Amino acid sequence: MPEELAIDVQGMTKRFGDRTVVDHIDLQVRSGEIFGFLGPNGSGKTTFIRMLCGLLRADEGRGTCLGFDVINESESIKRQVGYMTQKFSFWEDLSIAENLDFVSRMYDVKNRRAAVSSSIERLGLAGREKQLAGQLSGGWKQRLALAACLIHNPRLLLLDEPTAGVDPKARRDFWEQIHQLADQGLTFLITTHYMDEAERCHRLAYIAYGKLLTHGTVAEVVDHVNLTTWSVSGPDLIALANELRGLPAVQQAVAFGSELHVSSNDADALNQAIASFRRPPYEWRQVRSGLEDAFIHLMEGSQDNFAP
């Protein structure tokens, strides 16, 4: 029996004037999956999400979200989707409970008081119900936003860079909550710039300047890019990086902590190019390319659709 798809769209396209910001994207997300949606700023991720949940109408494309037609049944989709924006978008002069009550009214939630109480307990907000949203730290604002997204019991959550500006512990707690919810059958499409978060997703897609470049598990995405990467340690790595970047065979020379990652998708050409540099005081070792190596390579090979 085939897996049920929460999102199954083909050729999704959006233009603003003469600029194509989402360019014929096909995407499938399985029910109960945590799907990471990655790409540089301005790549069309937010626009794509807004098309999925009915906030923007696609210029071209077809498909379904939660079984509803993405073009003609956007109102039905909205009722079953929770959308968490990049920027905290709730009322800072209202308390946590008042914000959740307002959102539940918007969705016409039955037994509103019970729904608000349940949401507060579910997200660990008990004891803070009367605290004004404007007084909350970034991590607690994030919990309030997630509670509001869940108040109408959606089947799909679209989270747009939900942990931007949040401390590492709050980010970890947030992702623990995400995995618990996914285990209960909720589906997630999440945009993020954090590679450690991307690696917590079941599968990923990478979009650059409107075009979908690759998708799959972390291992599949890294393998698709087919990079050979060497890690270099030693003195004055900045000078070494500048010298290596001048070689045609070197596609990346990027600082990673106290080391330098040198990469190319032509292993033989790269090995020849670095041969004369593989001597003391530098230590070279070949390493498995990581997700960040892959994404830097994809981004550098993409053309900005807003460039002159």
Q: Tell me the pLDDT tens digit for each residue of 171-200.
A: 888 899 999 999 999 999 999 888 889 999
Q: Tell me the pLDDT tens digit for each residue of 214-269.
A: 999 999 999 999 999 999 999 999 999 999 999 999 999 999 889 999 999 999 99
User: According to the model, what pLDDT value does residue 1 have?
Assistant: 37
Locate 262 and state its tokens: 């040198």
Per-residue pLDDT for 306 more than 60?
Answer: no
For residues 269-295, give the mean pLDDT.
94
Q: Which fold has domain 5-217?
A: Rossmann fold (3.40.50)
Question: What is the domain partition of the chain in residue ranges?
Answer: 5-217, 228-288
**First vs last Cα of the chain: how many Å apart?**
49
CATH 3.30.70.860 correct for 228-288:
yes
Longest dimension (CA), the chain: 73
Name the E strands within the chain.
5-16, 19-30, 34-38, 60-65, 68-69, 81-84, 156-160, 187-191, 203-208, 211-216, 228-233, 252-256, 259-264, 283-287
